[in-house]
Structure 1
Amino acid sequence: MLRPFLLGFFCLSTLAVAVEPLPVVTVQPHAVDLAFPADSLVEAVQQATVGAQVAGRVLEVKADAGQAVRKGDVLMRIDAREAAEAARAAEAQYANAKVGFERTKSLVTQKFMSAAALDKARADLDSAAANRAAAGAGQSHATIVAPMTGVIARRHAEMGDMATPGKPLFTIYQPGSLRVTASVPQYRLKAMRTVASARVEFPELGKWVDAVKVQVLPTADAATHVSLVRVTLPEVPEATPGMFARVYFVTGQAEKLTVPAVAVLRRGEVAAVYVQTADNRLSLRQLRLGELVGQGEIEVLAGLSAGEKIVTDPVRAGIQLKSAN
């Protein structure tokens, strides 16, 4: 049985409609998608965390969060004096090993030294060459460059900070490839086998998009007993990693009576719509609503019948009723 409205807020008296016509729709049962929702977070498909590979103080910062960068762009410079000195020492050791190898080679040719001495000299030269290459690479690591083209999501270090090997410096992502990851409980996994498509809602953006791909990961969390489902998105310029989204996994279709969400007035737990009667009068009628079943559509469980007309602009309808009193 429907709950009566509170007196003073919902007056069920019927008044004549003003001259200015109101936008109305006729409610009829129609095929809607059967879907169950799951909260999710937006994440980047291509994302990289750039970390320090040498120890040193940050001398220069050339990029910040929100900045678009191209692969190879310089992001930061680290004090590389220790690495430079290590490279100079490795270069000197290589030069000394090379001279020693040439001298030993000459002496072996003249039969003054054994072949074993030449083998040792060659090994020393190879070791020195490897050390020189490693030192040179370590010196180059003092210049932090972008590993891919994208947008900087976060900068983890400031000028003057001490960088150490493994410390994150930047997080970069490609904005054109995004997905959402939803947690689905185990009792829903059977229904996931029949999922043909999915729609993703961004409540803060007021936007809906159709999923490109739905992938159920073949693992479940031992503590929460949920499985992760990855939903690949089309290009959504307004979406960013970390944003909240809601995924509706479509499992089939059914005939349901629905009303536009914009037509519903809510006060606490009470919901109502303005109904236009056959003699062009308005009445405010309480409804019992179900779940959101489509883009901007809500299922009606009780309070309306097929063929009735409702006003899709309840604000204007309320103003007209108030002015008529």
Structure 2
Amino acid sequence: MRIPVFVMCALVIAMLPPQLGGAESQSRIVTGDVIANRAVTLATRIMGRITTVHAEEGDTVKAGQVIVELDDAEYQAKLRSAEAALERMQVELAHRKRIKGRLAKLAKKNATSEEAMDEAEYTYQVAQSNLKAGQAEIDGIKATLAETRIKVPFDAVIIRKFAEIGLVTQPGDALYQIQDQSLLKFRARVKEGDLAHIKLNDQARITITAMGDEAVSARVITIIPAGDERHTFIVELELPKQPGLYPGMFGKAVFN
């Protein structure tokens, strides 16, 4: 039995794959995570015993806020001693200056020796040098004292707390992990074959698993120009603010 031509054509069309280059085939779906705008670990720069802790996990803190204080008694004592020594150096410098001035007057009358003038100049310069060194020591102690009060560098949320009252810290010991959540980003992992099709300021539809099926529009703000060992590249998109959206949440982005 011969099959009519129009039936054969219908069968062939039905068996053909979807047309390449259609809207669906152009969509690129990638997965990723929500991240904070900035995240840092606050650490001590000096050795000291923690005397006061001002923040707990989950707290919101402001830039410049003191959140940890170390015992500063030893450094305060060093500062007082250095300031007293500086006063003695100032007195010594004034004394050497007067001697130098008197000898200069005598030299005009040929009433003193060149050796005495040289000695006066030398001791005056030594006194000046000692005074500068004393001031530098005070500046150093004050800088160390400032390190006994650990401040927040930017508005942030406390994510993890390691500081405890009574703990003796060493330089580099972590005190807190903080995040700037004023801006949340979606960090996507993009295959190298898809990277050429994604540009800065491109839009994507992002769905966060924990927040249901509703997708939000996000803009590409960063493309990291280096891949990893799996040949994937990092692309970051700026997320709109949403209640219940937090760093660490998983989702997917669809680029058209």
Query: Could you tell me the TM-score, scaled by structure 2's length?
Result: 0.76
Letter in 1 for 2:220: K
For the 8 Å contact 2:202–2:220, the answer to whether it is kept is: no
The 5 A counterparts of 1:64-83 are: 64-83=56-75
Q: Partners of 1:157 and 1:51 in 2: how far apart?
A: 10
Paired residue for 2:127? 121
Residues in 1 aligned to 2:221 and 2:97: alpha-carbon distance in whole angstroms: 66
Is 1:152 the counterpart of 2:144 in the alignment? Answer: no
Equivalent AA in structure 1 for residue 49 of structure 2: R
Matched to 2:99, the amino acid is: L
Consecutive aligned runs of 4 or more in structure 1 exceeding 6 Å deviation: 30-33
Identity of aligned residues (%): 26
2:77 equivalent to 1:85 = yes
Separation in 2 of the partners of 1:160 and 1:243?
35
Alpha-carbon distance in 2 for matches of 1:152, 1:33: 43
- Quote how far apart the aligned CAs of 1:193 are: 4.8
Q: How far apart, CA to CA, are the structure 2 residues paired with 1:233 and 1:216?
A: 15
* Structure 1 or 2: more strand by fraction: 1
Change (3 A) 1:189 1:49: same
User: Which of the residues 21, 24, 35 maps onto 1:43?
Assistant: 35
CA RMSD of aligned residues (A): 2.5
Within a 5 Å distance, the mapping from 1:25-64 to structure 2 comes to 34-64=26-56
Q: Which has the higher helix share?
A: 2
The equivalent of 2:224 in structure 1 is 217
Structure 2 matches for 1:266-305, cutoff 5 A?
Answer: none
Structure 1 residues 111-120 or 176-185, which shifts more?
111-120
Of residues 70, 86, 93, the one that matches 1:101 is: 93
**Unmatched runs of 5 consecutive residues or more in structure 1:** 1-29, 251-325
Is structure 2 residue 147 aligned with structure 1 residue 141? Answer: yes
Inter-partner Cα distance in structure 2 for 1:81 and 1:194: 53
Cα deviation code 1:226-276 (max 9, x no counterpart): 2211112222332222222322222xxxxxxxxxxxxxxxxxxxxxxxxxx
Q: Secondary structure at the match of 2:182?
A: coil
Aligned residue pairs total 220
TM-score (norm 1): 0.61
CA distance in structure 2 between the aligned counterparts of 1:219 and 1:187, rounded to whole angstroms = 14
Provide the rounded CA distance (Å) in 1 between the counterparts of 2:61 and 2:146: 20
SS at match of 1:180: strand
Q: CA deviation at 1:32?
A: 6.3
For the residues of structure 1 that align with 2:193 and 2:24, how far apart are their CA atoms?
Answer: 23
Structure 2: which 5+ runs fail to align? 1-21, 104-115
What's the CA shift for 1:83? 2.2
Change (3 A) 1:101 1:242: farther
